């Protein structure tokens, strides 16, 4: 035991803070070269992936890491009000370029701001900025001129051509009043219409092109983005709820009452399958989805899936948006026992365009793999952020513990366990002990101490009751069969089971 280590660049490892942690997310996955290789292929080629193996060996970690290697989403999905049939909103896909162009269009429909002194005096008077009596300027909010104390504001549509301006203005959907004045100005050899609007202390000028854009925008049906362009390409589907997975239309107690209700399009909510559009949909324990697996199958076949109200009692049930895009990479995980419970057409769908991986549960005890363990310990400490680095001696004990577990749990000699979630737990418990003691490093003694505490509860039971079976029969009247005894350790090198 007690070996010393070097990094790849030959720098000596003094404690876990010297261990190089890869920056690339998939390289942080320890001991699963096949899964990592195929995850990379799946990311680059947009294939599906089924990860099979016991808990805590990195299935979620790989799924998440994979999402760092795919292209960023390029599309935003919106539902659009359908005035002909409000209960059948339409959808619209917008690219990043289109969204930018739209923003510019909105901006250009805002007109230009100008000082009231820069606009024709008669217009400034009608907007209430200029006093017709003394010609001085003041805020339109002051009805009495602060300079000569006479009444400032005039009624709408005044002046020699007021009536004409009103007609022209109405053609562009604007009314002449105190807040807004329609006038004309000469551009080259023709005259064009300009609308002047109050904008605080400034005046907004809307020329013909701006007015045209405004009118176009007002004509556009209102829409709501349900899948944003800026989104996380990794979507975890818990499968707990159908609506979360497939989307929903919220209930509205007022139905679609024109005044009280909310329009159907506003109540549409995307499901995980839609949020994962262009990204990764990760379904942990896929068999827990049960019958919902069929919907995943359909979504994968069609690459679109309708969003509809899923509660038949709800007003949302009559609303439906057809063919909403959901083109995702499926990464599914399950343990070996559940493999037969995956819907077979779904499994063949995954295989037809992707890979299945049986995850490793241990790796041979070689110097290179011991170094991988150090990397793992360093990662756990870095991610945790609350515990100090671990000494080389401490890390050696963790490695020995990993070796013991491989032997007992996986029946592998000269191997290191890859059930790393639990090993991570050991690192954290050791770290907490060091931290509470005020130690700036996790020493071997802290790890040994942790090994006494860090026993699965079954092991504690075994120690106080002899074995789990007798504990179950003496303590409980449960009719269920106890789960198969899973843990059998190990912290005592004298224990014959250890070596």
The closest residue (CB) to Mg ion is: 60
111 binds, among Mg ion, ligand ATP, none (CB under 5 to 8 A by kind): none
Can you say whether the dihedral through the CA atoms of 380, 381, 382, 387 is positive or negative?
Answer: positive
In this structure, what token pair is assigned to residue 314? 């709800």
Judged by CB under 5 A, the number of residues near Mg ion is: 2
Q: Is 32 in the site for ligand ATP (CB under 6 A)?
A: yes
**Residue 182 within binding range of ligand ATP, rule CB under 6 A:** no
Q: Which does 458 bind (CB under 5 to 8 A by kind): ligand ATP, Mg ion, none?
A: none
Cα–Cα distance measured from residue 155 to residue 320, given in angstroms and rounded to the nearest whole number = 50
Mask: binding to Mg ion, 263-292, rule CB under 5 A, as x and -? ---------------------x--------
Question: Could you tell me the smallest distance in angstroms from the CB atom of residue 349 to ligand ATP?
Answer: 22
Q: What is the DSSP string of 298-350?
A: HHHHHSEEEEE---TTSGGGG-EEEEEE---EEEEEE-GGGGGGS-HHHHHHH
Q: Which is nearer to Mg ion, 248 or 284 (CB)?
A: 284
- State the binding partner of 58 from ligand ATP, Mg ion, none, CB within 5 to 8 A by kind: ligand ATP
Taking the C-alpha atoms of residue 371 and residue 19, their distance in angstroms, rounded to an integer, is 9
Spatial separation of the C-alpha atoms in residues 21 and 17, rounded to whole Å:
9
**21 and 27 Cβ atoms separated by less than 8 Å:** no
The residue from 7, 18, 60, 158 that contacts ligand ATP (CB under 6 A) is 60
Which of ligand ATP, Mg ion, none does residue 360 bind (CB under 5 to 8 Å by kind)?
none
Q: Please, are residues 362 and 417 in contact by the beta-carbon 8 Å criterion?
A: yes
Q: Which of 56, 116, 309, 316 binds ligand ATP (CB under 6 A)?
A: 56
Binding residue (CB under 6 A) for ligand ATP from 13, 15, 16, 31: 31
Q: Is 55 in the site for ligand ATP (CB under 6 A)?
A: yes
256 contacts Mg ion (rule: CB under 5 A): no
Residue nearest to ligand ATP (CB): 58
For the chain, give percent helix, strand, coil, nearest 5: 40, 20, 40
Sole binder of Mg ion in the list 7, 17, 60, 241 (CB under 5 A): 60
Which helix (DSSP H) or strand (DSSP E) does residue 50 occupy? strand 48-52
Report yes or no: 224 and 324 within 8 Å, Cβ to Cβ.
no
**How far apart (Å, rounded) are the C-alpha atoms in residues 71 and 74?**
8
Rule CB under 6 A: is residue 321 a binding residue for ligand ATP? no
Return the residue of 421, 432, 435, 439 that touches ligand ATP, per CB under 6 A.
Answer: 421
If 0-12 CB within 10 Å is exposed, 13-18 middle and 19+ buried, where does residue 57 land? buried
Provide the binding-site residues for Mg ion, judged by CB under 5 A. 60, 284
Contacting residues toward ligand ATP, per CB under 6 A: 28-32, 55-61, 284, 376, 380, 418, 420-421, 424
């Amino acid at each position: 035991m007690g070996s010393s280590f070097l990094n790849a660049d030959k720098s000596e490892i003094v404690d876990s803070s010297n261990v190089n942690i890869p920056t690339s997310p998939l390289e942080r996955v320890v001991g699963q070269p096949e899964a990592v290789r195929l995850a990379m292929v799946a990311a680059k080629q947009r294939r599906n992936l089924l990860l099979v193996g016991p808990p805590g060996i990195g299935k979620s970690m790989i799924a998440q890491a994979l999402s760092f290697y795919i292209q960023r989403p390029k599309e935003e999905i919106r539902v659009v009000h359908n005035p002909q049939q409000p209960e059948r909103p339409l959808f619209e896909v917008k690219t990043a370029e289109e969204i930018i162009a739209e923003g510019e269009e909105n901006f250009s429909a805002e007109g230009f701001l100008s000082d009231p002194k820069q606009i024709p005096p008669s217009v400034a008077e009608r907007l209430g900025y200029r006093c017709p009596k003394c010609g001085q300027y003041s805020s339109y909010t002051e009805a009495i001129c602060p300079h000569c104390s006479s009444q400032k504001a005039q009624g709408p549509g005044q002046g020699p051509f007021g009536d004409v301006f009103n007609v022209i203005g109405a053609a562009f959907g604007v009314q002449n009043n105190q807040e807004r004045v329609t006038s004309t100005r000469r551009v080259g050899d023709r005259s064009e219409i300009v609308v002047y609007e109050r904008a605080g202390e400034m005046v907004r000028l809307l020329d013909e092109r701006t007015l045209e854009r405004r009118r176009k925008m007002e004509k556009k049906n209102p829409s709501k983005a349900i899948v944003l362009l800026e989104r996380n390409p990794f979507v975890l589907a818990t499968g707990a709820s159908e609506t979360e997975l497939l989307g929903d239309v919220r209930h509205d107690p007022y139905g679609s009452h024109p005044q009280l209700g909310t329009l159907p399009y506003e109540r549409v909510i995307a499901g995980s399958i839609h949020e994962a559009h262009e990204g990764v949909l990760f379904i942990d324990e896929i068999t827990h989805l049960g019958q919902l697996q069929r919907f995943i199958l359909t979504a994968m076949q069609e690459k679109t899936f309708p969003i509809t109200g899923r509660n038949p009692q709800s007003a949302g049930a009559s609303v439906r948006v057809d063919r909403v895009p959901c083109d995702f990479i499926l990464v599914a995980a399950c343990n070996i026992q559940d493999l037969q419970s995956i819907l077979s057409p779904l499994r063949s769908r995954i295989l037809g365009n992707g890979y299945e991986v049986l995850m490793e549960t241990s790796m041979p005890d070689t110097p290179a793999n011991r170094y991988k363990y150090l990397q793992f310990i360093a990662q756990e400490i870095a991610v945790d952020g609350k515990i100090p680095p671990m000494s080389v001696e401490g890390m050696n004990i963790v490695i020995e513990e990993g070796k013991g577990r491989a032997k007992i749990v996986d029946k592998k000699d000269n191997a290191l366990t890859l059930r790393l979630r639990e090993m991570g737990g050991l690192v954290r418990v050791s770290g907490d002990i060091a931290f509470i003691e005020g130690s700036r490093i996790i020493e071997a003694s802290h790890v040994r101490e942790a090994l006494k505490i860090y026993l699965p509860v079954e092991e504690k039971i075994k120690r106080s009751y002899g074995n789990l079976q007798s504990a179950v029969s003496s303590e409980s009247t449960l009719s269920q069969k106890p789960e198969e005894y899973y843990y059998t350790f190990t912290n005592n090198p004298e224990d014959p089971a250890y070596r």
